[in-house]
Amino acid sequence: MSMGEVDGVGLVQYVKTKFPEIKIIVLSMIEDLSTLAQAFQAGANGYLIKSGDYNELIFAIKEISQGRKYLVTSLGL
């Protein structure tokens, strides 16, 4: 969620404001609930950890394309 000059949460909010139909999956190295909650509050449709499994990414894309949200499974929520 830290991208140099741009904050990831702010970017999600900006994109969702300008283009609400766009689906956003956050890929992050950050594995804490606070950041995850901020991403979803900003409008993210999914949140995955970069070190996660490729198959989980594919599954998340399918879920989100069907109108559902997706939350990384490795956080044990």
H or E segment at 21?
A: none
pLDDT, one tens digit per residue, over 23-70 is 999 999 988 889 999 999 999 999 999 988 899 999 999 999 999 999
β-strand partners of 28: 49
With cut-offs at 50, 70 and 90, classify the pLDDT of residue 2.
low
Question: Domains along the chain?
Answer: 2-71 (3.40.50.2300)
> For residue 5, which amino acid is it?
E
pTM summary value: 0.84
Q: Are 49 and 29 in contact (CB under 8 A)?
A: yes
Q: How far apart are CA 35 and CA 39, in angstroms?
A: 6
Q: Which residues have C-beta within 8 Å of that of residue 47, sequence separation ≥ 6?
A: 25, 26, 28, 36, 39, 40, 70, 71, 72
pLDDT in the model for residue 72 = 84
